[in-house]
């Protein structure tokens, strides 16, 4: 555990099976992680696959306060992916659930297992749009404009 709670941002996505139900359950599961409190969750968004394959994705972003260190949080999220039937047959394969740490406080980290902040968060409408909803100060108009060509739609 880290000494003090840290705010982290987790991106959620799924495009296999009942993706809406999977992402909704994943939000509940993230909220139930040990030493972790869900602060805010975005609406669900439907997006066309970006650098990936398969049907449209259902995406969301969650802001959590956690005492788990970055690798412990990563491993907890990977366990939730496995629990949902996540397989990794090849890069960017369709997935039952994908959970990525976008930010972990102000931590900058590069290891073979984890890079923080997520190296491509600012290139992806499916992260930027829901992030702008729950943490508008973190997303600039220029960043949103740069991804406006990517198909994404807020759901309800």
Catalytic position from the list 18, 46, 88, 95:
95
- CA-based nearest residue to 103, from 133, 79, 139: 139
Say if CB 139 and CB 60 are below 8 A apart. Answer: no
Say if CB 30 and CB 82 are below 8 A apart. Answer: no
Catalytic position from the list 29, 46, 98, 124:
98
- CA-based nearest residue to 92, from 121, 65, 53: 53
Catalytic position from the list 35, 56, 88, 100:
100
Where would I find the beta strands (DSSP E) of the chain?
Answer: 6-14, 36-41, 44-47, 57-66, 98-104, 109-110, 115-116, 152-155
- 88 catalytic? Reply is no
- Return the structure tokens found at 21: 């139900």
- 98 catalytic? Reply is yes
- 100 catalytic? Reply is yes
- 18 catalytic? Reply is no
Catalytic position from the list 28, 86, 88, 120:
86
Cite the active site residues. 86, 95, 98, 100
């Amino acid at each position: 555990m880290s000494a003090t709670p840290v705010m982290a941002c987790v991106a959620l996505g799924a495009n296999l099976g009942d993706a809406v139900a999977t992402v909704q359950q994943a939000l509940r599961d993230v909220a139930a992680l040990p030493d972790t409190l869900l602060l805010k969750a975005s609406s669900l968004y439907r997006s066309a696959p970006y650098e990936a394959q398969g049907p449209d994705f259902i995406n969301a972003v969650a802001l959590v306060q956690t005492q788990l260190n970055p690798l412990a949080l990563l491993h907890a999220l990977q366990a939730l992916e496995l629990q949902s039937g996540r397989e990794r047959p090849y890069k960017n394969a369709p997935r039952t659930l994908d959970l990525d740490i976008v930010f972990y406080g102000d931590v900058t980290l590069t290891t073979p297992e984890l890079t923080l902040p997520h190296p491509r968060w600012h290139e992806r409408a499916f992260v930027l749009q829901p992030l702008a909803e729950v943490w508008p100060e973190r997303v600039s108009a220029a960043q949103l404009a740069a991804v406006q060509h990517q198909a994404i739609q807020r759901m309800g």
